[in-house]
């Protein structure tokens, strides 16, 4: 067994290792490969990044999203079943190509990921609201891709059983659909429960997804909408998000340390539909908060499963 080193020699070796780590990471990074002419004709895409812990990437011509696989929980804790959003500048898919560079957090001309889900709900992740607390699942499993593009992104995943305090256990199956021309994902969720009693689902927007500042949030109880415009990040701009639920099932708003939440009454085993959307001020569509707010309020969603 090698002799353990102590004192100044060990400190020097450790310091050298720390200095070498960023250099090694920089050497692993690759430039963003330009999209081919054929790739530029696509308006939607879904892919599973097996090279990056099973990240599930989906995007259309306006915006891009990601959800996290179970392997990430061990590799980069804390992980979350929230929904990540990437700013997007181009009308064709870019997420897979950018993630493969090893540096999705730098704007390389087509878009950038500077939205930090952390342990929050991101843009439209959900949980069960019980006893003034949010109870959330682990990361997704069992992806089933119905359409990987080029005109529609559609898939479903499962969120295996998790406890809601001692009141019940729940599990979820969720369908995702993202069509060209819209900043909103249409999601159809079915919650299974060990109790047949109705429950309250909370759909969230992360409070501090781009830094320590909170941004501006609008809570529209009449139309059952939650709208957020994030703070300006130096050299990267602002991210925005919104959630729309069925006004007939809406029961109020709530907050916890990480999230703004909109609450909806749900019957176990019965599918319900909600929408979550995002935008980036660095993209071509929404430069200012009033533009995003007006766009959200113009939406006429269909909540029929």
Site of tokens 């102590």? 6
DSSP result, 230-258: PPPBTTTB-EEEEEE--TTTEEEEEE-SS
Tell me what pLDDT residue 29 has. Answer: 79
- 106: pLDDT strictly greater than 60: yes
Query: How many CB atoms neighbour CB 6 within 10 A?
Result: 8
Tokens (6 digits) for 282: 């660095």
Give the residue-averaged pLDDT of 128-137: 98
Helix, coil or strand: residue 78: coil
Q: Give per-residue pLDDT as tens, 281-301.
A: 999 999 999 999 999 999 999
Please give the backbone phi and psi of residue 240, each rounded to the nearest 5 degrees, phi first: -135, 155
Task: Tell me which of 71 and 11 has the higher pLDDT.
Answer: 71
Query: CB of 104 within 8 A of CB of 86?
Result: yes
Q: Which residues contact 166 (CB under 8 A, 6 or more apart)?
A: none
DSSP result, 119-160: TS-BEEEEEEEETTEEE----BEEEEEEEESSS-EEEEEEEE
Q: Give per-residue pLDDT as tens, 14-66.
A: 433 333 344 334 446 789 999 999 999 999 999 999 999 999 999 999 999 99
Distance CA 211, CA 243 (A): 21
- 110: pLDDT strictly greater than 70: yes
């Amino acid at each position: 067994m090698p002799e353990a080193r102590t004192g100044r020699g060990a400190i020097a070796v450790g310091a050298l290792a720390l200095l070498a780590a960023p250099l090694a990471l920089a050497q692993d990074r690759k430039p963003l490969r330009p999209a081919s002419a054929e790739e530029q004709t696509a308006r939607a895409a879904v892919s599973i990044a097996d090279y990056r812990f099973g990240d599930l990437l989906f995007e259309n011509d306006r915006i891009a999203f990601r959800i996290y696989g179970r392997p990430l929980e061990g590799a980069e804790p804390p992980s979350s079943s929230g929904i990540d959003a990437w700013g997007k500048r181009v009308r064709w898919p870019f997420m897979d190509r950018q993630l493969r560079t090893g540096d999705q957090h730098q704007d390389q001309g087509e878009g950038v990921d500077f939205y930090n889900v952390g342990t929050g709900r991101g843009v439209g992740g959900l949980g069960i609201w019980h006893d003034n607390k949010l109870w959330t699942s682990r990361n997704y499993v069992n992806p089933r891709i119905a359409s990987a593009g080029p005109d529609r992104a559609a898939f479903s995943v499962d969120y295996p059983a998790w406890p809601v305090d001692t009141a019940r256990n729940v599990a979820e199956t969720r369908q995702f659909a993202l069509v060209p021309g819209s900043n909103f994902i249409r999601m159809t969720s079915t919650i299974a429960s060990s109790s047949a009693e109705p429950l309250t689902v909370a759909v969230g927007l992360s409070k501090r997804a781009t830094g320590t500042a909170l941004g501006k949030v609008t809570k529209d109880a009449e139309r059952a909408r939650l709208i957020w415009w994030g703070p300006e990040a130096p050299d990267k701009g602002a991210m925005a998000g919104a959630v729309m639920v069925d006004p007939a099932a809406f029961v109020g708003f709530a907050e916890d340390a990480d999230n703004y939440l909109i609450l909806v009454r749900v019957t176990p085993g019965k599918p319900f539909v909600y929408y979550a959307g995002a935008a980036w001020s660095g993209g071509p569509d929404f430069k200012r908060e009033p533009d995003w707010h007006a766009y959200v309020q113009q939406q006429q969603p269909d909540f029929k499963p």
